[in-house]
Amino acid sequence: MNKSELTSKTLVIATSIAFLMLLTRGSHVMTSVALPDASLALLLIGGLYLRKASWFAFFVLLATVIDFGAASIDSLQAFCLTIGYWGMLPTYAVMWIAGLWLSKQTESLNALKFTLASLASTIAAFVISTQTYYLFSGRFPNSGVLETMQYGWNYMPNFTGFTAMYLLGFWVTAKVFPNLSAVFKTA
């Protein structure tokens, strides 16, 4: 495979991820129907196919620009933009690293490996994002980790469910169209 093929495949993957992030990023203003946020699933997929830290930095920056852009248009979207927002960096890193780990497996789309990596990283991402928000946002009483663990857990089904839905859809698509997955794997 020559370098231009590799670069064009990488750009197709990166453009697809960026488009889907723009389309689904929570509470955006692009459409009248807000799709559930696919960012966590997209970061895992990015780690799986793009692998480089520079792509991770690009997608973190894109998510941040989307969030702050939405907040500048609709001030209600700024509610989560506190010092606790920086917890999104390790949250996203957990997903990217899971994808990176999968990329190094002989069968990265093996059902058991993919499910375990997806589940473990999504739960870890939930704990990190929830705890950093409740501990550092300044919007809730902060008596330590044990007290803050009681907040936010009602969001876990949506947080993990939507990410699982997107990852399952990706996995099924990759299994139904194995040639497409093989093409992306070489990017």
Give the orientation angle of helix 3-24 with respect to helix 53-73, to 10 degrees. 30
pLDDT of residue 132: 81
Quick one: tokens of 165?
A: 């839905």
Question: Residue 53 belongs to what domain range?
Answer: 3-185
pLDDT of residue 142: 64
pLDDT digits (tens, 9 = 90+) for 17-55: 999 998 888 554 455 567 888 999 999 999 999 999 999
122 contact partners, CB below 8 Å, separation of at least 6: 40, 95, 159, 160, 163, 164, 167
d(C-alpha 101, C-alpha 59), whole Å:
18
Report percent pLDDT > 90 for the chain: 47
How many independent structural domains does the chain possess? 1
pLDDT of residue 9: 86
d(C-alpha 99, C-alpha 174), whole Å:
14
Quick one: tokens of 145?
A: 């980790």
List Cβ<8 Å contacts ≥24 apart for 22-25: 22/62, 22/66, 25/63, 25/66, 25/67, 25/70
User: With left for phi above 0 and alpha for psi between -120 and 50, is residue 45 left, alpha or beta?
Assistant: alpha
Spans in the chain with pLDDT lower than 50: 28-29
